Structure 1
Amino acid sequence: MKLHRRWIPMVILAAVVMAGVAIYLMWERAIAPIQPPMPSSFDSQLTLRGARVMALGDCAVCHTARGGKPFAGGLALATPFGTLYSTNITPDPETGIGTWSLDAFTRAMRRGIARDGHQLYPAFPYIHFTRMSDGDIAAAYAYLMRREPVVAKTPPNDLIFPLNFRPLVAFWNVLFLRTGPDTPEGSRSAQWNRGRELVSGLGHCAACHTPLNLIGGEKWGQAFEGGVIDGWEAPPLTRLAHGPVPWTPAQLVTYLRTGISSAHGAAAGPMLPVTQELATVPRDDVEAMATYLFSLQKPTSADTGTARAAAADQLSIQRGSVLFAGACAACHGDMSPMQSIGGRPSLATSSAIHAATPRNTIQMMLEGVPWQGERRLHYMPAFDEALGDAQLADLAAYLRATYSRLPPWDSVSQAVTELRKGDAAK
């Protein structure tokens, strides 16, 4: 359909107006730079509190490139709109935040505005950090300003047009940013309110566990209903108590603090570093998070009947059985030494195998769980180079048929191919 000539000036005018409004909305004053403060100027107890805040926020994971120095940024963050790179948040005055005052740091955390006034992209979860208390923000600032400065320039982002035009973030903020901490609910316990503060704010759990709309905003009506991050499924947090293998609050606390649950499996992918950080914080914080999450539970509406679907590919399952005996049974077989001595979770209660999609089961086989020194029991070798796509699909079919009473997954072979391509692109 051709645009009538008489409408062209109006379209151009509208585009100019939108660009002008965007520039107006995004315009923020720069906050004057400061001399990098002396580390000794920060109270040691405040700094210790800052270490706790940074662990709860999982900050080092995103702001540390693979093989890079802590908090020096440069980690590539894949998004549907291109690649972003995390920034240097060490106190280096040239490439980091050494010249940022506490006011500048607070504005970035609450509103997503850098010291010089430019918009930050919402891959930095300021829409959640805005709920942090003033005390926690000040503690995080003190902790960062006492780190070793690292000279590390952030690589340029590679976003598709027009999303590489920062003023558009101002429109995004109008839609999705609600600034300021939440008001405590008087009818709820102090533990519940602390849990909400951590889950919805500092911990930014919804950033991964909530589906996104076409412009990357969280679907508020489906909060904590599950999402996809780095090719892994972030499962719904509203079905913990009512899924095929229900969780208990105690099991969730153990999983979040150790990365392993004897009833549900081991943390892997993007969730593994989260549990490693939570292992360093007080147990009370994690218990508060579990209390809040269990208050969000909804009954499952899915039919988890006991009959297997007739469409199951028996030949695939048989091939998977042979592969399992050769590659997996030594650790995961019912009578294997690793089951009786190592305390590995049974696959019969694995959350990945009971999930609605094969995504996490496939990713676990592709990527495994990295070696972690003294925590060697929480280890699984990667099979991405040892097994082909068809073999992984057969293994997934066997695991689903053998260790669950749910229907077979659809399009497993296609999922394996797509996920392997995604891993190769990282």
Structure 2
Amino acid sequence: MWTRDTLTTLALAVVAILAPIGSVAQAQDKGKPSKADIIAKGEYLARAGDCIACHTAPEGKLFAGGRAMPTPFGTLYTSNITPDPDTGIGKWTADDFHKMMHTGRSPDGGLLYPAMPFGSYTKVTREDNDAIFAYLTSIPPVKQPNRPHDLRFPYNNRSLILGWRTLFFREGEFRPDANQSAEWNRGAYLVEGLGHCGMCHTPINALGGSSESEAFQGGLIPMQNWYAPSLTSNKEAGLGDWSLKDIADLLRTGISNRGTVYGPMAEVVYNSLQYLTDEDIRAMAVYLKSIGQGSPPEPPSSAVPTTESSLLLSLGKTVYDNQCASCHGAQGQGKPPHYPPLAGNQSIQMASAVNPIRMVLNGGYPPGTFGNPLPHGMPPFAQSLSDNEVAAVVTYIRAAWGNRGTPVTAAQANELRSAPLN
């Protein structure tokens, strides 16, 4: 028979058993990130992926899409990724979003055009994709229908993407290298995955694809007429000889003692990199330095006739002394970090002269960032210098002070006068 004392003892025993279970459950809840934490993480990762750059049109609403993306095959228009149920991703599930990021397919199985960097985003973990999705579904919905793409025949036939994917797409989440440090692997994950740095810094062929064997070797960005320098070869902008601090400063602020970012890279720093933590920026710097080569062999010297070379250099020095020396120094030493050095600057000497020509013509500013809120800019000279003068001064800075870049022509300068500014 159960007595009152027996029942009391059993009740106390049950309480004693349940109390630790409750404590464990509470401890587990405390260790589990809250919804607000997940959303905050997703916002950070969306910054790391620079989603705003493509999915927010100039003067448009956040992530509502509609930004024109000119390509050699026609114009693509970015999609609405706000949580609007009719025109955005409001009806998507986390599985749908992960499928899109990981496989390059929409929820209905449709093939995405590779202007969406799913070739890089496939490396992103499911946990990070879920966080990004949580963030995107937390922002205000915008009812804005997606604009149809305007692609020439036959590129408007999405079935052709199957062939492109066979040639150039390798699906798979990032796998850490056990022989490298956790910091190196974090940097590789950000550079190769969310950062999709290879989209610009890897040569793009006539089919709009790139080869893994040429990763980060640099190339002309289609339709933008900016050259993304090699991150591996020090003949261009390889970072093997840079200090980690100089690399990190460039990524975080847009300026460093070794150089300054302009053009499309300035947008990346402004929209994305300046918001990353010091730890993540350093991890990226560690990885980027590791893929850079050491000091390069000397590039070939000028191949133009001596007389022509002398005339170019003479005119170029005159223009430089009058227009450039006050900031960049009589000997090209610059005034780092705000006025980058030109002497010994590999980005000035690389085979493509597109970037220095564009800087002389159009000028520009590095991005205004938390670390450099009042950037020093360079004035444009397109209106004050002739094509011959532009060619001469660029030739001069590519050949003076021990630099060994090849000359440029007036025709090259003229061709870039009409290039888009970003």
Alignment TM-score, normalising by the size of structure 1:
0.80
Amino acid paired to 1:333: G
Q: How does 1:232-381 map to 2 (within 5 A)?
A: 232-240=226-234, 246-263=241-258, 265-276=259-270, 277-298=272-293, 302-304=297-299, 311=306, 313-334=309-330, 339=335, 343-370=338-365, 375-381=373-379
Q: How does 1:133-212 map to 2 (within 5 A)?
A: 133-212=125-204
1:415 maps onto 2:407 in alignment? no
Amino acid paired to 1:330: S
Counterpart of 1:131 in 2: which secondary structure? Answer: coil
Contact 1:260 1:378 in 2 (8 A): no
Q: Which has the larger radius of gyration?
A: 2
Change (3 A) 1:158 1:307: closer
Can you list the C-alpha shifts for 1:152-204, whole angstroms capped at 9, x where unaligned? Answer: 33433222211110111122222222222122222221111111211111111
Amino acid paired to 2:45: V
Contact 2:201 2:217 in 1 (8 A): yes
Change (3 A) 1:177 1:357: closer
- In the alignment, structure 2 segments of 5+ residues that lack a partner are 1-33
Aligned equivalent of 1:95, options 81, 87, 109: 87
| Aligned equivalents of 2:160, 2:288: Cα separation in 1 | 33
| Aligned equivalents of 2:79, 2:362: Cα separation in 1 | 26
Counterpart of 2:275 in 1: which secondary structure? Answer: coil
Residue 9 of structure 1 is matched in structure 2 by none
Residue 399 of structure 1 is matched in structure 2 by 397
Amino acid paired to 1:394: A
Can you list the C-alpha shifts for 1:332-387, whole angstroms capped at 9, x where unaligned? Answer: 23499x938x7422222434312222111012223322486673333223333443
Deviation at 1:206, TM superposition (A): 1.1
Deviation at 1:304, TM superposition (A): 3.2
Deviation at 1:60, TM superposition (A): 0.9
Amino acid paired to 1:369: G
Deviation at 1:407, TM superposition (A): 4.1
**Range moving further from structure 2, 186-195 or 381-390:** 381-390
Counterpart of 1:273 in 2: which secondary structure? Answer: helix
Counterpart of 2:420 in 1: which secondary structure? Answer: helix
Contact 2:201 2:231 in 1 (8 A): yes
Aligned equivalent of 2:74, options 82, 90, 93: 82
Provide the aligned length of Structure 1 versus Structure 2: 381
Amino acid paired to 2:417: R
Counterpart of 2:347 in 1: which secondary structure? Answer: coil
| Aligned equivalents of 1:308, 1:163: Cα separation in 2 | 41
Residue 50 of structure 2 is matched in structure 1 by 58
Amino acid paired to 2:311: L
Amino acid paired to 1:86: T
Contact 1:244 1:354 in 2 (8 A): no
Contact 1:209 1:237 in 2 (8 A): yes
Counterpart of 2:417 in 1: which secondary structure? Answer: helix
Counterpart of 1:422 in 2: which secondary structure? Answer: coil
Counterpart of 1:421 in 2: which secondary structure? Answer: coil
Deviation at 1:391, TM superposition (A): 2.7
- In the alignment, structure 1 segments of 5+ residues that lack a partner are 1-41
**Range moving further from structure 2, 170-179 or 104-113:** 170-179
Contact 1:96 1:151 in 2 (8 A): yes
Can you list the C-alpha shifts for 1:184-243, whole angstroms capped at 9, x where unaligned? Answer: 222221111111211111111111111122311112221111112221111111124997
Can you list the C-alpha shifts for 1:249-288, whole angstroms capped at 9, x where unaligned? Answer: 221111111101222x210011012222211111111211
Change (3 A) 1:318 1:61: same
Contact 2:230 2:237 in 1 (8 A): no
Deviation at 1:79, TM superposition (A): 1.9
Amino acid paired to 2:378: M
Counterpart of 1:83 in 2: which secondary structure? Answer: strand
RMSD of equivalent CA atoms: 2.9
| Aligned equivalents of 1:394, 1:330: Cα separation in 2 | 18
Change (3 A) 1:386 1:71: farther
| Aligned equivalents of 1:358, 1:242: Cα separation in 2 | 11
Can you list the C-alpha shifts for 1:60-95, whole angstroms capped at 9, x where unaligned? Answer: 112222232332222222222222122222222232
